[in-house]
Chain A
Amino acid sequence: MSSAAIIDLLQLIMVTTTTVVVMLVIAFRRDHGLINALTQTGLLLALLIPQLIPQILPFQVTPLLIFDDFSALFSSIMLITAMVIVAMAYPYFEKKHNHNEEFYLLLLTATLGSLVMAGSNHFVSMFIGMEMLGVSLYAMIAYPVHSASVPVRPMEAAFKYLIMSGMASAFMLFGIALMYASSGSLEFSALAQSVSSRATEDLDSIMLVGLLLLFSGIAFKLSLVPFHIWTPDVYEGAPVPVTAVLATMSKAAMVAVALRLLLSAQLSSIGELVTALTVMAIASMLLGNFLALLQTNVKRLLAYSSVAHLGYLLVIIIAAAQIPDLLSVEGAVFYIAAYVFTSLAGFVVVNVLSDASRELVELEDYRGLLWRNPILAAVFIIVLLSLAGIPLTAGFIGKFYIFVTGVEGELWTLLTVLIAGSSVALYYYLRFIYVMLQSTATVADDPALRAIPTGSKLVMAVMVAFIIVLGIYPAPFITSIQQLAASF
């Protein structure tokens, strides 16, 4: 293996080393604070390594992994997300006083899985990454189940996720096998040849069935309608930091690999697939938003809103058939980055108000939050406005990208549905904001009056700065993702 490969792999090696070190330290000493700090340091080092030792990009390391600007950006997003989750996990689990340390092991393997997904351009590495992320998540969702004060929800959620996700993986594997039978290769780019060589005639049906099976698996992970059924229940049952992983890291990783698959295999030229995606996009935008209307639980609300948001994102991906790849990559990357950081900020707020024994997730718990705890409420309002796509926030520029790509791709139906969906979405975001604006009587032992942990404060400050700066002056960030898209 060449030195260039080693240098590119350093980030993955760092996370792996941290995992091993954390595991060994746990064996000798159970200390929540120490493990938390170790994990955080390992992740921070992994994030900084490319700055200290410049990576050689783009570079194919073994047939399985590619390192380029695209994977580098997504890796940074994953690592930052993981760090935020670590910061959230400490106050959340600290009060339980028993066996909190393994959570960080699982988080590290999940991160590793998503890093692999960001760099995979081969079905094998895609599947390995996905399963690594998925298996870690099963355990993470059920993590608080041994605590006496917690109802059985986490177990239920974990089982739901396990069964559904297992099924989705099986679908994907079968799809991959069919595609392999048809094209004879497991590389994404090899698929492109067999797709383009058949451009004149119809794609053979084995390949097509394989593709559709594969995409149903991907749609499951992205919780697109009709593969979204698990989302609200699992979001609700999982502990808050894990819900955040589900909503951000696992979604971003899947988007990264799906985007690479679509573009390097030129799948957007396949009409049947585009039709299937269009149907899913329309259904997700409408159903996601309409079902969110009925929710009074913050986690379920965010679950349905994530269904809708991934539906919006699909518009950019569908437009890829008609517009330059560059623009669609740029739009999708911007959108997912804005979405990930916005949601993270939201989950941090919920996390501050919750801990493993009691989660404050009902709409009523947030009544008058602006007056009880102005900082938390202000952050949450900014998050909700960004999710709704209101100017001054990153979410607006993201939505602007969808409109731009939609107009260029002339997807009028999708855009009409998008406008309808967003207007419904406004209702439930505004209802939430309104509740926070109301006056309320003070109650004893109000969790909102507790001091905000320093880590959470820092995280919220960074995330809010990101949302606002990207909303007001996105030019530098756009320039950098344009370069990345150009190198694609």
Chain B
Amino acid sequence: MILVWLMLILFIGGLAAWLAESRGAEHPRSVALVAIFLDLFIVILMIFAPEIVGIKSPLLSIENLQGDWLVLYQSEWINRFGVKFLFGLDGLSLLLVALTVVLGLVALGAAWGEIKERSGFFYFNLLWTLAGVIGVFSALDLFLFFFFWEVMLIPMYFIIAIWGHENKQYAAMKFFIFTQVSGLLMLLSMLVLVFYHFESTGILTFNYFELIGTVLPENVGIWVMLGFFVAFATKLPVVPFHNWLPDAHSQAPTAGSVILAGILLKTGAYGLLRFAVPLFPNESMEFAPIAMALGAISILYTAKVAFAQNDLKRLIAYTSVSHMGFVVLGIYAWNAQAVQGAVMTMLAHGFSAAALFMLAGGLQHRIHTRNMDEMGGFWGVVPRMSFMALFFTVAAVGMPGLGNFVGEFLVLLGGFKANVTVTVFAAMGLIVAAVYSLIVLQKVFHGENKNNHIMHDLTYMEFLCFALMMVGLIWMGLYPQPMLDMAEPTLRSLGVTFQ
């Protein structure tokens, strides 16, 4: 039940924030802050004092090699289709839920000074997106999963369409249509899977545990797997389904970009890990070389495209696709190091991308442009902000000692065992990453302040958010073992072989 509360708090908090607007434009954000803090408190309890909230300890379950579920919640929903209200958390889900809540807090910090108009509806959408994402990370009934998959979409659409920048209609629509259409393909695949399961067992169910291990006819299985893959690959995104992302990210308000890059992309990776591969192990292994190649292409192609951008947010958006390529590579390499690396990359990229978008958004808020050609020499103007930019850029590039390095290194290590050629190409991505990142720093923070932009440095709120993410990245980089331990039982139970 504690798990359901995690979402309910956000749903109710969202409604309360909307209603609170009538008492003054400042109230919604306070309501949202309280709701997210409550959630954060619960998540902290779940990790460090699990007995209080009545779940199993995520830190001790390493001995339990069956990948036990920390907590499961089930109740009836639509019996007609065997659809149940089935939620569960294991180490992996808990890590991602924690990421969601922390980045939710960061997004709130980003919106704090930026969103002045219609703030009630904004925080309503923000909290409902977060609730939808937590639902996605914990739903274990396929119908329920699809339900949340779509639920997180609508508030995000509103966030881009109402508070976005100059080309918001195009961006919001593209985002929605890409996700929705690929989602329908997934729904179709789900139903085919359920239908075949029903044919062979006589039980109509969408329950993940029962559907796992369903054997599909050879010519059907690959199509069904592809249905899932396309949905997740669109969200992740992987070239050639990445087209929506640069628009959505660059047009969204800062808080929207933070959530999109930090959390929503991770739902795609989570879907691959939890559903696409374990539900169709054989088909996925057949498909793995292609998926890994797509991952490598994503890494190199979008890195190249990023290099050509002069819109700061678009550039960061493309680098996101590039980094997500490592996640695909890791997942489809499907060995212990690679998948662990994919999980670490998901977490670390969540922080680094969120921070970079927040910087870009902060700059845009201050000087009303995202065009890097008009920037320059900001180090002298906003030293604290510039330092943060330096830190998170080198983190994203994969500086040893920070989280992204651990993730990407493990992916390459594991990938090398699975497919040497592809991995060699993917590894070149690290070099290209250094090139485009340094260009950003060069153009924006060094050189000459051509337009004599004057702006204020980071506010306390922004500084706190950056500091939080900084600590997170350093922790992941220096001592990632607790997170690897938390994820390991899950990965074992999903079928990854550990030595």
Contact = CB atoms under 8 A, between A and B. Distances in A.
A300 to B, nearest CB: 21
Given A390-B150, A403-B191, A475 B184 contact: no
Interface in B149-198: 150-151, 153-154, 157-158, 161-162, 169, 172-173, 176-177, 180-181, 184-185, 187-188, 191-192, 195
Contacts of A408: 195
A392 B191 contact: no
A430 B188 contact: no
A427 B173 contact: yes
A91 interface: no
Nearest to A471: B147
B181 A419 contact: yes
Contacts, number: 69
A73 interface: no
B80 A475 contact: yes
A474 B143 CA distance: 14
A423 B181 contact: yes
B173 A434 contact: yes
A434 B147 contact: no
B177 A423 contact: yes
A482 B180 contact: no
Interface centre among B79, B118, B191 (most CB of A within 10 A): B191
Interface in B60-110: 76-81
B80 A434 contact: no
B78 A475 contact: yes
Nearest to B76: A475
Contacts of A392: 151, 154
A487 B467 CA distance: 66
A427 B177 contact: yes
B86 to A, nearest CB: 15
Contacts of A422: 180-181, 184
A478 B188 contact: no
Contacts of B154: 385, 390, 392
A407 B180 CA distance: 19
Contacts of B187: 400, 403
Nearest to A330: B80
Contacts of B185: 419
B80 A482 contact: yes
B81 A404 contact: yes
Contacts of A475: 76-80
Contacts of A431: 169, 173
Contacts of A12: none
Contacts of B161: 433-434, 437
A391 B157 contact: no
A56 interface: no
A479 interface: yes
B284 to A, nearest CB: 22
Given A474-B78, A475-B80, A437 B177 contact: no
Nearest to A408: B195
A212 interface: no
B44 to A, nearest CB: 30
B79 A426 contact: no
A423 B187 CA distance: 14
Contacts of A273: none
Interface centre among A390, A427, A474, A479 (most CB of B within 10 A): A390
A415 interface: yes
B177 A426 contact: yes
A376 B188 CA distance: 34
Interface string A407-438: 11000000100010011001100110110010
Interface centre among A392, A396, A437 (most CB of B within 10 A): A437
Contacts of A371: 118
Contacts of A434: 161, 169, 172-173
Interface residues of A, number: 28
B261 to A, nearest CB: 22
A423 B180 contact: yes
Contacts of B80: 475, 478-479, 482
Given A434-B161, A434-B169, A419 B150 contact: no
Contact of A407 (B76, B77, B188): B188
A131 B78 CA distance: 40
Contacts of B79: 475
A426 B151 contact: no
Contact of A403 (B76, B180, B188): B188
A148 B78 CA distance: 54
Contacts of B177: 423, 426-427, 430
Nearest to A397: B78
A393 to B, nearest CB: 10
Interface centre among A390, A391, A474 (most CB of B within 10 A): A391
Interface centre among A404, A426, A434, A475 (most CB of B within 10 A): A434
B493 to A, nearest CB: 29
B395 to A, nearest CB: 36
A329 to B, nearest CB: 13
A385 B153 CA distance: 12
B417 to A, nearest CB: 38
A475 B85 CA distance: 13
Given A391-B150, A475-B77, A475-B80, A407 B173 contact: no
Contacts of B81: 404
A386 to B, nearest CB: 12
B104 to A, nearest CB: 21
B449 to A, nearest CB: 34
B147 A391 contact: yes
A423 B184 CA distance: 9
B189 to A, nearest CB: 10
A385 B154 CA distance: 9
Contacts of A400: 187
Nearest to A334: B80
A474 B162 CA distance: 31
Contact of B157 (A430, A474, A478): A430
Interface string B187-217: 1100110010000000000000000000000
Interface of A: 371, 385, 390-392, 396, 400, 403-404, 407-408, 415, 419, 422-423, 426-427, 430-431, 433-434, 437, 473-475, 478-479, 482
10 contacts: A371-B118, A407-B192, A422-B180, A426-B176, A431-B173, A434-B172, A434-B173, A437-B158, A479-B80, A482-B80
Q: Which 7 A-B pairs have the closest CB atoms?
A: A423-B181, A407-B191, A391-B150, A478-B80, A419-B184, A391-B147, A475-B78
Given A390-B154, A422-B184, 5 more contacts: A407-B195, A419-B181, A426-B177, A433-B161, A437-B161
